[in-house]
Amino acid sequence: MNYHPETIAISAGRPEVGPDAALNPPVVLTSTFHSGGEIGYGRYGNQTWKALEDAIGTLEGGSTLVFSSGMAAISAVFSILPIGAPVVASNQGYSGVMTLLKSFQESGRLEVRFVDVVDTQSVIDAMKGAALVWLESPTNPGLDLADLTRIIAAAKNLGIGVGVDNTFATPLVQRPLEMGADIVMHSVTKFLSGHSDVLMGSLSTSDSALLKRLQDSRNISGSIPGPFETWLALRGLRTFPLRFNKSQESARTLVERLKAHPKISRVRYPGFGAIISFEVDGTAEQTQKICESSILIAHATSLGGVESLWERRRRWPMESLSVPEQLIRLSVGCEHVDDIWDDINHALAAI
């Protein structure tokens, strides 16, 4: 069936229908399986993982593997590249990925060519001889957009693999596999699971040979999710479109209000999604004070949950120095938009 994403999120990954068959997939808590089947051992597979993998795979238009975290999923991608392989990557992005790439660069594990993803020609120029282009769009926390269509087309022309971190946009906004990307990655921790109660990652691809290599990597590294966490993520995924659409609608309202606020000098928002990055007209200390003054909005890292969260990104020593000291990243949750706005106003009054 060619369902809309809203329907897929609810209907995919369910057990076969039959009299007294469970509507929802069970949590399969077992470390081993009776012999003669396809799984064999709990590091190689689990029926609860498969239910979540079917659901995310159908949303992204490929086959999916789930991992113990988003970083575990990304690490699996890099693990299958040869030593010293040239990789083109954004010079701005999720701090964990940036730190990982820099450490690979320093150890010689990979040759990383950092580029400004907004400058499409510079990305294309850096591709010569590369093994992989790794993109994040929108970027975290700058919310810059890469021209995925042009970059993917150029990479395909040169026979270079493309991986896209689709955590911020989600398959409701963009489906990179349909655009020709080889791998789509998610921090399932964020919007897909959506309740800030589980860490998980996923990789999706429509290339069966690539899927097998990534699966072999997961089998051996053991970066597997727990069955219970997988079940929680699938439970969360059922309402992902509802939550995302609601948060996005509120984010659009808040962007207009933030732009009109005299204490805010710049608002970054790519036009979709539930993440807003804005800059306070003040010092780092004042910005920090604002984040600590909210009552409803939790002062916490992470994003994509039903709860609104915010933080000053530069409070993390690992964050890129190109991110302004006064930048606050707000993850808009599903509370009433006026309650979120009242809390922002209350916090801004602290300076």
Ligand X SMILES: *Cc1c(COP(=O)(O)O)cnc(C)c1O
| Cβ proximity to ligand X, 63 vs 189, nearer residue | 189
Q: Is 146 in the site for ligand X (CB under 6 A)?
A: no
Of 111, 213, 93, which is closest to residue 164 (Cα–Cα)? 93
Q: Is 305 in the site for ligand X (CB under 6 A)?
A: no
Cβ atoms of 258 and 268 within 8 Å: the answer is no
Helices 208-221 and 70-79, packing angle to 10 deg = 110
> How far is Cα of residue 165 from the mean position of the Cα atoms in its chain?
6
| Cβ proximity to ligand X, 168 vs 240, nearer residue | 168
Q: Which of 9, 65, 66, 71 binds ligand X (CB under 6 A)?
A: 71
Q: Which of 13, 57, 201, 227 binds ligand X (CB under 6 A)?
A: 201
Q: Is 223 in the site for ligand X (CB under 6 A)?
A: no
Cis peptide before 270 (omega within 30 of 0): no
Q: Is 66 in the site for ligand X (CB under 6 A)?
A: no
Q: Is 247 in the site for ligand X (CB under 6 A)?
A: no
Total binding residues toward ligand X, as defined by CB under 6 A? 16
Considering only 56-64, 91-99, 152-160, 237-245, which stretch makes contact with ligand X by CB under 6 A?
91-99
- d(C-alpha 32, C-alpha 43), whole Å: 9
CB atoms within 10 A of CB 118: 16
Q: Tokens for 277, please give them.
A: 């990055």
Provide, rounded to whole angstroms, the least separation between the CB of residue 246 and ligand X.
20
- d(C-alpha 5, C-alpha 9), whole Å: 6
Q: Is 311 in the site for ligand X (CB under 6 A)?
A: no
- d(C-alpha 40, C-alpha 72), whole Å: 23
Provide, rounded to whole angstroms, the least separation between the CB of residue 78 and ligand X.
13
Residues near ligand X (CB under 6 A) are: 69-71, 94, 96-97, 136, 140, 165, 167-168, 187, 189-190, 199, 201
